[in-house]
Amino acid sequence: MEISRLKLSGFKSFVEPAELRVERGLTGVVGPNGCGKSNLLEAIRWVMGENSPKSMRSGGMEDVIFAGTETRPPRDFAEVVLQAKDDEGEELEVTRRIERGAGSAYRVNGRDVRAKDVALTFADAATGAHSPALVSQGKIAQVIAAKPAERRQMLEEAAGIAGLHVRRKDAESKLRSTEKNLERLEDLMAGLD
């Protein structure tokens, strides 16, 4: 997957709509301390379905919404749009929007989808909010200190098989509920005899 564009509005320090084009090759973002460089990486992880406020350096998920300054009022929503090309060269546009008191909503190519669909889309393309390709500050030290099970999880994300675990869990839970239904049906049928 190749990210081509990132659009932000009301996300953390990006109060005004901002657009970042990612050209082929190397794209660098430079700026003084605190200007929002890490917020850009967090925006990428957030639109890919990150659901841990802690890894967004936030107390709660709504904290990603522009909180206001002495001169500017806070916003009541944040939106991030990520444009990319998938491995087949198809255009992909993913939008995540959060409104105060209303939680997050996702769209893929203009269609409303669930958070899980977005996470699976990226996991299948061997990327996503926890992809080892997104290296934030402190991440290297974290990899070095990681337990074997955590390292295995990182390798699975990199290999694009993390989505399979989610699907296996889904399938197992469907199987369990079908087995329960079957048991109920058998009880009912026994009652009819």
Which amino acids are annotated as binding site, given as ranges?
32-39
Minimum Å distance from CB 6 to ligand ATP? 14
Work out which of 61, 63, 86, 107 binds ligand ATP, going by CB under 6 A.
63
* Binding residues for ligand ATP restricted to 21-50, rule: CB under 6 A: 31, 33-39
Q: Which is nearer to ligand ATP, 47 or 120 (CB)?
A: 47
**122 to 161, contacts with ligand ATP by CB under 6 A?**
none
CA atoms of 83 and 94, how far apart (whole Å): 7
The nearer residue to ligand ATP, 51 or 137, going by C-beta atoms, is: 137
Q: Which residues are annotated as a binding site for ATP?
A: 32-39
Q: Please work out the total of residues on this chain that contact ligand ATP, with binding judged by CB under 6 A.
A: 14
Q: Is 12 a binder of ligand ATP (CB under 6 A)? A: yes
CB of 82 to ligand ATP, least distance (A): 17
Binding site residues, ligand ATP, CB under 6 A: 12-13, 31, 33-39, 63, 65-67
